[in-house]
Every structure is written in structure tokens, then in C-alpha cells.
Chains A and B, each alone.
Chain A
Amino acid sequence: MAALQEKKTCAQRMEEFRHYCWNPDTGQMLGRTLSRWVWISLYYVAFYVVMSGLFALCIYVLMSTIDPYTPDYQDQLKSPGVTLRPDVYGEKGLEVSYNVSDNSSWAGLTRTLHAFLAGYSPAAQEDNINCTSERYFFQEGFGAPNHTKFSCKFTADMLRNCSGLVDPDFGFEEGKPCFIIKMNRIVKFLPSNGSAPRVDCAFLVSTDAPPKDVEPLQVEYSPPNGTFSLHYFPYYGKKAQPHYTNPLVAAKFLNVPKNTEVTIVCKIIAEYVTFDNPHDPYEGKVEFKLKIQK
């Protein structure tokens, strides 16, 4: 196969390439004449227009089968996640650490809380109704204006000492900081059969270290008992309840030891909320490290 072994020089290759790019004999550019290029481009344009049209049609059909109020499946959302404010992430999850005597070390934290609670100001909650019933607030129809459903008010003042209204420092300065715990929204999720879900925070007892004689964590929950009132459930989705705000629970830790890092876990206690998924650290509970320096 002698012919195939011929090594072309670089100049030859360049020449061939140039000839390929523009062939003056046949008027071909890149192997096609201009009119051929136009034809093939037209074909591709048409082909892609049709294909995009078909795809758009498919998406349209898909959208038309989707219920705008309720998702078809909630395979991943069996149990709500739990988040914490202020949320400062270190290498391994939430890590909050500040110095009581150093204003600047916690100013950011309180700023986060203030910003977060801005959504719970009476002005922001204006469109929501006051609810007093301690039962689920089922709504079959769309009684609210604009074909929506009512949402219950949750205002910052319900967090009492942790509302930022009484104590704009949220207790950080005195070493008894407030943390706000929020349960994720899931459409039509009912956390329990009758009793309100409640937050329970405690030091995380590591299983391998021998339990030391540590004083149990003292927490001041707000609203009292750390419950999420049942009238905030079920959630009917963004379209039905455009003004819905998650109920919150604030936990004020009263006896956090100073100058040591402690791990605190806040769980949601409710029949249908699980917190033992080994893969998901934020399902039904939130864990964080806290270090208060003095």
C-alpha cells in the first residue's frame, strides 16, 4: 500500500486545506458551491424549525397535563426539610461562632435575622387573615380574592423575645442567642394527626463519647412550646396561596457554655415528619455548631 504511506509535507497539507476552503476551479467553498451552501442551510433551518416546533408542541402538551395547583408527584418530598436562621455554613454544615464582646462578630448574624423577619412585618402580612383555630385550615374552594385561598398571618411579634422588636440584638450580646427554625413548605402536607408539630432542640449527644454530666440545654421557644400552629397547614401552593408565609419557631438558648463548641440539633416532633434519613441531614431536623466566645 505504498500510495497510502506517502507522507505529505506541511506545505502540501496547507495547500490542500486552502484548496478545500476555496476551490477556484469549481467555485466551491469548504466542499460546496455557494448555492449548495444556501440549499443545505435552508434545509437545516427548515429541519430545525420543524424540530423545535415539535419540541415546543411536546412541551405545550406536557404543560397542559400539569395541574397548576398541585404537583403530580411528591416522590422526594415525603417529609419537609428544616432550615435555620441565621445560616452560616462552615466546612461541615452550619457553624455559628461569635464573640460576645465583639460587636462586629455578630452584627452580621442579627442583620440576617432582621432581613429574614422583614417578610413577617405586619405590612408584609397585610393580605393574610388572622387565624385562631388550632386545627387544620382546609379550604375546598377559592374563597379569597382573585381566585386564591386564604393564608394565615404569621407576624414577627409572635416570636416574642426573638422578634427583633423587643431586643434588636436577638440576645446575641448577652450570650443567649435566638435562632429561627423554619419548616419547608410542601403542598398539601399534613404534619400530624391532630397535635401541632413542635420544635425540640437539644445538645447533640455524640454516641461514641461518654455522656458527660452536662446540663441539658435550656431553651425558650416562641411561640410558646415551640409549636407550629396547625392552621398554617395544609399549604395549597404558590398559585392558590400567593401570600403564604411559613410559620416559624424561635429558640433562645439560655445556657450555652461559653468558649466551647457545642452541637445543637433541633428536631420537628410530628407524626409525619421523619428525621432519621441517614442521607439527608436537613430532613425533619437541623443540626448546627455553636461557639460563643467571651
Chain B
Amino acid sequence: MRQKTLEIYSVELNGTKDIEKTDEGDGKEKKYRGLKNKGPDPKKQHQKEEFKKELDLDDHKLSHKELERKYGTDIVTGLSSSRAAELLVRDGPNALTPPKQTPEIIKFLRQMVGGFSILLWIGAVLCYIAYGILYSNDSSSSLDNVYLGSVLILVVILTGIFAYYQEAKSTNIMSSFSKMIPQQAIVIRDSEKKIIPAEQLVVGDIVEVKGGDQIPADIRVLFSQGCKVDNSCLTGESEPQSRSSEFTHENPLETKNICFYSTTCLEGTVTGMVISTGDRTVIGRIASLALGVGNEKTPIAIEIEHFVHIVAGVAVTIGVIFFIIAVCMQYYIIDAIIFLISIIVANVPEGLLATVTVTLSLTAKRMAKKNCLVKNLEAVETLGSTSIICSDKTGTLTQNRMTVAHLWFDSQIFVADTSEDHSNQAFDQSSQTWASLSKIITLCNRAEFKPGQESVPIMKKVVVGDASETALLKFSEVILGDVMEIRKRNRKVAEIPFNSTNKFQLSIHETEDPSDRRFLMVMKGAPERILEKCSSIMINGQEQPLDAGTAKAFHTAYMELGGLGERVLGFCHLYLPTDKFPETYSFDTDAMNFPTSNLCFVGLLSMIDPPRSTVPDAVTKCRSAGIKVIMVTGDHPITAKAIAKSVGIISANSETVEDIASRLNIAVEQVNKWDAKAAVVTGQELKDMSPEQLDQLLASYPEIVFARTSPQQKLIIVEGCQRQDAVVAVTGDGVNDSPALKKADIGIAMGIAGSDAAKNAADMVLLDDNFASIVTGVEEGRLIFDNLKKTIAYTLTKNIAELCPFLIYIIAGLPLPIGTITLLFIDLGTDIIPSVALAYEKAESDIMNRKPRHKKRDRLVNMPLAVYSYLHIGLMQALGAFLVYFTVYAQQGFLPLALINLRVEWEKDYVNDLEDSYGQEWTRYQRRHLEWAGYTAFFVGILVQQIADLIIRKTRRNSIFQQGLFRNKVIWVGIFSQIVVGLLVCYGLGSVTALSFAVLRAQYWFVAVPHAILIWVYDEGRKLFIRLYPGSWWDKNMYY
């Protein structure tokens, strides 16, 4: 684990050099936080070595000739097909190996021995042993034990198959993601350009990539033309990076002449040589490393394990105690073993784990409808216990597109509509300055709509061009109408595209006014650079000299907009005089034979990636639900802070240390750190922090924004949060996010923007990339936790009613009140649908207004739940069921007192004239038949009271009448099914000897009804006192 984490950090942060450093000594290791010291694992060591070797990538340093030699290829003619085929065989296809799957049979077997299964297996084996012993003594012994053993095995296998099927089904949901559209690549082979599936690329292939394509493998750039790539999925840098053939940096990750697999070429074209394919690509190695980050157990899995331990502990303890008691009471060992089996079977809620699975998958389905696709069923609940969400900014909190937010002209700031459809542009458009500004915006822009999208709404059209140009294009299209038509009317005669040295973009146009022969030069760029070039400014359509006052106004506006975290552009223009620049004048952009100074400044325009409209609300909800939302972004701190403020991650009235400093006009160091509620931390600062400092930071500020972080630092942040005992949800979309997604308690990948690696590593996929969907998920997750509690309480209750008969049977010697197989009919027959029905129960109180559960303190099955279920309701149920049993026996001739210590005579096969309370004599068969009637009576008794139990479990605090008795219709389906199954079992299976049911008179169904009502009344009383005296002794002991 330590080694692997090291590798991730190293590769991402510092490339090869860091690895060498860590090899030098352990002194540096302190730098890596949250890592446990484990002895070096030889396998990992080996992996590390291998990794290091592979990163010794020197292809970027080689010349073209050396490259040709190294890879045995030719830059002009490419590889020969035969050589390519050979290499393909040698290296395998150019695709990432899917993560290793656990073999199906292992998964299946795991289901067979997990949870309670092992107890049931033991029970089954004991049954066969018991039969074996009986058989060796007496070959005619009854087959009851064989039946029971077989039924137990059947139960284990059926529940195992069911759980396996559920798991397989949920895995299938995800497999659809891995099916990608096969990627194509243009490759030169045998001197010919060919289009082949990218999977067939081999090392040494010469490939051509153009704007919009994905880079099909790691390639060394040979020739490029204005090529820019988006490396964000690898490094998290959102800025496009230019690529050329020059070797610019020692580090292969930094140099310009290497393009990485799965990054996207944004514009331009590039020709390059494939230097590695498939899993050997940089991304491939990161993806495979992500798999190494241990997948943690989900909170609900821990809870269920905890619950299984409790129940199994109770079962085994009681079983063993009574085994000893039975032996002490001089029962035969064989009988004692059978008691043991029965006690175990009575205590184990056989159907519960299946119920939990169904419940979870029902919720998963419901969440899928709300755009949360859950990959791992248990993640449903994890989301509910989330206490910290580390959210991306771009795309999750924001709309992921640059949008014009503000304009400044005529010395005034105007607000543009940034909502999703831009429909409501309310600023004043009457000014002449706006006319000029809009012309510049329209003309000085190289972005274009892709053709063939006439019917698509403007905001959804696909644009070729970078983010700001796209924003400007769409902005002008919305306001002015057909931009392409305007551009056509104002023919472009010359153009200088934006570059980072000039920091401006200009173009020269003919004007659309045929009488005006002047050329119009339009320019946009960084505001301060534009202002330098201007000598005048346009106010209300009039050119005025640029004096100190207007310059100051400009600066104020620029700072204000910049302070909002917006990207500000300046716009200016100049009409070139006809005398110097006649119509025939030929403009030369290299020689710059036209003026680029003394222009007329027109206005500023600022853009931002605006927050999604649903986000502020969602953040507020999170806050009231006690969930801390942390923004982790690669973006600039100011932008990050601005967005954080606008969505409420930093609330309106909280300040950072810097804010306080500027307000009080003192140095940052002098500010009392505890006064600040919010903090904006940059990646650089984070790098210098010790784990303790990070812990302190996370603990002391309720509102934190991490800016300029590399996605690898996300992992550090996640680990920091987890050290606070928080359940951390992390959103991410890039490949490099996958370690953090894996590390998080619940990784959330973006469905639209997310890479496959991220989706693979995540537990959940947000289909609409919307933060608000996470909140919906949290709500569902909390609800399911509550409802699981109810389900478990419901199921556990009857265990006592099932267990007591055996205890009484052993101690008081009553004829056996209920058979083991009959119990299974309750556990797996009548109780299944009702317990699933509880999953449909609506939330009791506003679950989004309470703190997330503490994963160590707030257990799914806690002491009050177990005690209340077992010792209160369970006991009442047992009494009710015994009443039915005694009634049946009494009305048939055996009065309650006569039953005590009757067991031995009762069970003797050769006593065929056993006297009852009326002096009647019974044969063994007649007694057995009565015993079955007793089983059925007890069964019916439990069943009737389980209906009451089901109703009381609808709520834990509120009265049933507050919750509404009929609001959850599924409960009534459950009750109905319970009764129908009960009737079928009693009246349909009476003839099957092995099942030990007997037809029961109808009135016995009503004997336990008063007890059922008593249960309801008692529970209403409990809830009433809980509501009346919150925090009291009663509340602490009775609220589960």
C-alpha cells in the first residue's frame, strides 16, 4: 500500500526524479502522508522497479533519426504491415486491460459461506451426524433430521444463489459503461494512409491526429501544426497545452513533444510516432495503479458484519448454554445436539440478508431514476452516511462552459444572464458603444458552429474553438442572431490568432457598409495589454481621449470583475483611414504593416463558468444535513473562491484569513486564525503542510476550498478527511482521479464528463454530472439506513418467539411447540415480503436536517434495537404465540398444567395410550398430529403478531398515526402476502408429512389478536414517551 501510493505521487507530482529521491533514503518519506509502514513486499518492490524502469522514458530526447532506429520504422513510409502484425502479436492490442475480475465461481462460493450460511452449514452437518448416530443405533429411526438437514442446505444454497444473482445483476449495470465505441486511428503503413482501429496500433507506427480526436497511444510528436491537447484527464491542467516537436523538458510528462494516450487533441494536427501502447502507456500505468489502492469495506458492509456477529453470537451462546443445560438435565447427547440445531435455526434470520440485498437494490433503482447510478449496492447507504463531500468544481458545481457574465462599457458594469439557456439578456443594448463592442465580439472570433446543427438550441450547439471564443460566439449568436452571416458581410482580410506572447488576437475586416471603404481592425485580449495600445475610449458611441479618470474607471472595473473570479477580456477597434489603407492594400500579419497602437478602447467583457442553478440549493441542503462540502479544483484560487461563494460553499457572511486582513488592513500573519470560518488553500500550500497541519486545517474550518491542486493532492485531502473519521464522498472525472475515487468511501464519477477509468474506480456514477443529484442520493442513502434498521428490528423480533419454544421445551418439558422446519416457513415464507415492504417506508422526520451518522458510534444494530426487539416485543410475541398453542392443546384435551414435563412420555413411540386431562387415551400418531396442530398454531400466533410488529416498525419515533397508516401501500401488500402465505401453508400443505403442518380451525387465527394489539399499544406508548421526553432515560434506552 505504501509503495503504491508512493508511486502515484511520484509519477504525478515530480516524475522520475522523485522516485530516485525516495530511493535514496527514508528521510523523505515523512513527506508522504497517511501512509502506514508495512514491511516491503517483494512483489510490490518488483512492481516498483518495473515502473521505474518504464518511466525512464527518453524518447523525447531522441532525434528523429534515433527514433527511427530505435523503433525500426520510417517516418515517411511507416511500418510495413507484416512488421506491424509481428509487433501486435508481441505487445498485444493497444487497449487497457480491464481490471481483473474475481472468478464467478469464487464469487458464488463466497456467497455460500458468507454471513449466516456458515452457521446453517454447521446446523445441517449436525443434523446428518445426529441421524447417523440414530441410524447406527436403530435403522428405523425417523428421517426428521435428514429432512431438516436437507432443508437447511437448500436454504443456504437458495439464499446464496439469490445473493449471487443480485450481485451479478448490479455488476451488469456497470458493464455497459465499459463498452466503448471503437476508436479509429489514421496510420501510415506501407507508405499508405490507412484507417485502422486504434487497438491495432503498435510501437513505431506513424499516426496522424487532428483536432477533436483522442490521442490513440503515447506518441512522440514529429510534426505539428498549431496543436493543442487537453491533458486534464491526466494531469488535471484544464488549460490546453500546445504540442510541438521540440524537446523542452527533461521530464517526459512536461515536455512538449509527447502526447499521451486518452488525452484529446483540441485543435491543429499532429503527426507522431507511437512509443508505447496499451497498459504500457502512462495512463495505462496509472489506471493499473488505481486498482492497487485498496477498496475499502463500505460502512453498510461493516454494519451488516457487525449485525451478523451479534446475531450469530447470540445464537451460538444460547445454543451452547442450552446444550450444556440439556446435558446436565440428562438428556441424551443426541437430543442435546438436536436442540442446538433448533436453537441456531431459530436465532438465525435466514431471509434477512436476502432482504437487505433486495432493499438496497430497490433503492439503487430508485436512485438510478434520479440520475445516480449505483455500481456497488452497498454504496447506496454509504452515500447516506457521508459527512464530507469533496467536490470538483468544473462540471459538477458549474455548467462546465465559459459564459459571458459581465460587460463593462460606457463606464458601467452590466450583468449578463448566465442561466443555462441565456434567454434573459436584460442589459441596456441601446448604446452605440454596445454596437461597436458587439461587432468586435462577433468579428474578432475564430470559433464556428459545427455544421448541421440548425435545429439544436444555440446553447447546446457544438462549437469548434476554445472555451472563451465559444462563450463569445454563443453570446453574440443569442443577442445578435446569425453570427456567420454578419461575418460574411464583414469579410475578414487578415488575422493574427491569439498567442501567449502577444496576449491579443486581432483581425481586419471590410465593413458591411458599402459606402464606408475603411477597413475595420478589431482586437481583443488581456485587458491591460489592450489598454496599453489604446489612446482613446468610446463612451456612448463617442471617441474620447483616454485620460487618467477613465483609466481609473477601467482599472476599478477590471479589478472588480477579476475579483469575481472571472476571466476578463478587453476589446478595442480602429477604423483604418482609407488614404493609407486603400481597398487594395495587402496586409501582412508577419510584418505587421498596420498600426497596433493608438486604438480606441471599447469595453470589457468577463466570462466565468457559472454555477449550475440547482447547486446553491443543494449545498444549503448538505449544510443543514451536517455535511461539509469541500471544493477541490485545479482552478485559480480567486475563481474557485468566487464560485464557492456563489454556490454557498463559502457562505455569504464568512471570511477567510485574507478577507479579514484586507478588511482590517493588517498583515495576514496578524489575523487571528480562529476568526476565519473559511479557508482557501492552494496546492502549493498543501504541499508544504504536514499531515497534522492538514488535520488541523480540516478540523478547524467549516468551509474549505482547495484551489490549484493537482488531482493527486485530492488523495491526500481524502486521506486527511478520513483521518477525521469522516465518511468521504469524492467526485471526479479524470483518469488521475481514480486513485482518490477508490480511496474515498464513496467515489462518484461523472457520467458525461467522466473517463472510463474514473467510472471504473467509482462506486457511483452521476448521469447528469449534477451536484444536486448527490444530495438526492444522500437523502436516499439515509432513508435506506433508517429503513434497514426497521427491517432488521422487524426480523429480529420474532427470533425470540421462535427461540422460546425450544427453551421451554428443554426446561419445562412441554410437547415441542414449533418445529424447526416450521420456523423456516416464517423466516423465508411469510416474513420476506413484509420486511422488503419496509424499504418503501417514507422518511419519518426530515432526514436531511440531522447530522450524518457517525460510522463508529451510530450502528445499524445497536443495543436498544436488539434489546427492544428481543426482550420487549419478542417476548410479548412469544407469550402470544404460547397462548395460541395452549389454547389448541387445551381445547383438544391437554390442559396447560398437564403439558408440563409431558415431553418424555409424549415422544415415546411405544406409548400408545397416553392419557390426557380428560382421561382420554392417545396413540403416538394422534399425539403427533396434535403436535403439528400445535406447530401450526404457534406459527399462526407469530404470524398474527408479526403483522402488528410490521405496523409498529413503520416508525421509530413518530406515532403511526402521524406517519399515516396507509401512506405506504407496499406494507399492506406485505401484510396481505403474509396472510395468504400463512393460509396456503396451513391449509395447503397439511398433507405433506415432512413439513409438519396441520389444518387449523379458523378461530385460532384470532387468539393472538389481543396480544398483537397490546404490542401496538405498548409501542405507541414507547414512542409517545420518546417524543415527550427527548434525551431522557427512556429515550436513551428505548430509541433504536
Contact = CB atoms under 8 A, between A and B. Distances in A.
Nearest to A281: B925
Q: Looking at A1, A81, A241, which has the most chain B CB atoms within 10 Å of its CB?
A: A1
B408 interface: no
Interface string B392-407: 0000000000000000
Nearest to B1010: A58
A66 B895 contact: yes
Contacts of B34: 2
B887 A77 contact: no
B855 interface: yes
A236 to B, nearest CB: 9
A83 B913 contact: yes
Given A51-B875, A51-B876, A83-B913, A3 B725 contact: yes
Contact of A91 (B138, B871, B872): B138
Contact of B923 (A40, A75, A283): A283
Nearest to A184: B921
B285 interface: no
Contact of B918 (A40, A184, A237, A282): A237
Contacts of A76: 892, 922, 926-927, 929-930, 933
Interface residues of A, number: 55
Contacts of B917: 238
A184 B1001 contact: no
Contacts of B725: 3
Nearest to B910: A89
Nearest to A279: B925
B140 A91 contact: yes
Contact of A66 (B890, B923, B927, B929): B890
A39 B912 contact: no
A269 interface: no
Interface in B849-885: 855-856, 863, 871-872, 875-876, 879, 882-883
Contact of B912 (A5, A66, A282): A282
Contacts of B926: 76-77, 81, 280, 283
Contacts of B883: 55, 58-59, 62
A42 B913 CA distance: 47
A66 B919 contact: no
A71 B916 CA distance: 10
A244 interface: yes
Contacts of B913: 81, 83, 182, 184
B768 to A, nearest CB: 28
A59 B882 CA distance: 10
A83 to B, nearest CB: 5
A150 interface: no
B309 interface: no
A91 B141 CA distance: 9
A115 interface: no
B919 A238 contact: yes
A187 interface: yes
Contacts of B923: 81, 184, 280, 282-283
Contacts of B140: 91-92
Query: Interface residue tally of chain B, by bracket?
Result: 35 or more
A54 B886 CA distance: 15
A75 B297 CA distance: 56
B722 interface: yes
A2 B36 contact: yes
B920 A77 contact: yes
A274 B875 CA distance: 43
Given A59-B886, A187-B919, A1 B745 contact: yes
Contacts of B891: 66, 71-73
Nearest to B1034: A43
Contacts of A31: 863
A93 B456 CA distance: 90
Nearest to A246: B921
Interface in A20-55: 31, 36, 39-40, 44, 47-48, 51, 54-55
B961 interface: no
A40 B1037 contact: yes
Interface string A63-97: 10010011111111100111100010101101000
Interface string B616-639: 000000000000000000000000
A186 interface: yes
Interface string B1007-1020: 00010001000000
A193 interface: no
A55 B855 CA distance: 41
Contact of A238 (B912, B918, B993): B918
A1 B297 contact: yes
A276 to B, nearest CB: 13
A81 B856 CA distance: 64
B93 interface: no
Interface string B278-312: 00000000000000000011000010000000000
B924 interface: yes
A235 interface: yes
Contacts of B882: 55
B835 to A, nearest CB: 25
A185 B920 CA distance: 5
Contacts of B722: 1-3
Nearest to B923: A81
B691 to A, nearest CB: 11
Q: Looking at B725, B919, B1033, which has the most chain A CB atoms within 10 Å of its CB?
A: B919
B381 interface: no
Contact of A2 (B719, B856, B896, B930): B719
A51 B1014 CA distance: 10
Nearest to B1001: A73
Nearest to A1: B296
Contacts of A73: 891-892, 1001
Given A51-B876, A81-B926, A71 B918 contact: yes
Given A1-B297, A4-B297, A63-B895, A77 B1001 contact: no
Contacts of A259: none
B723 interface: yes
A66 B36 CA distance: 73
B886 A62 contact: yes
B893 interface: yes
Contacts of A82: 912
Contact of A83 (B876, B912, B1001): B912
Contacts of B719: 2
A4 B933 contact: no
B501 interface: no
A81 B919 contact: no
Nearest to B896: A59
Contacts of A187: 893, 918-920
A36 B1034 CA distance: 12
A101 interface: no
A158 to B, nearest CB: 20
Contacts of B890: 62-63, 66
A103 interface: no
A184 B922 CA distance: 7
A1 B34 CA distance: 11
Contacts of A89: 909-910
Contacts of A47: 872
B139 A91 contact: yes
Q: Looking at B896, B910, B921, which has the most chain A CB atoms within 10 Å of its CB?
A: B921
A255 interface: no
A12 to B, nearest CB: 15
Interface in A115-139: none
A129 B498 CA distance: 129
15 contacts: A4-B856, A48-B875, A55-B882, A58-B883, A58-B1010, A71-B892, A73-B891, A75-B933, A82-B912, A89-B910, A92-B140, A185-B915, A238-B915, A279-B993, A283-B926
The 9 closest A-B pairs by CB, nearest first: A238-B919, A81-B923, A280-B925, A184-B921, A72-B891, A71-B893, A89-B910, A1-B296, A282-B923
Given A74-B893, A280-B924, 17 more contacts: A1-B297, A47-B872, A58-B1010, A59-B883, A59-B886, A62-B890, A63-B895, A66-B890, A72-B892, A73-B892, A76-B927, A91-B140, A182-B913, A185-B921, A237-B919, A238-B917, A238-B919
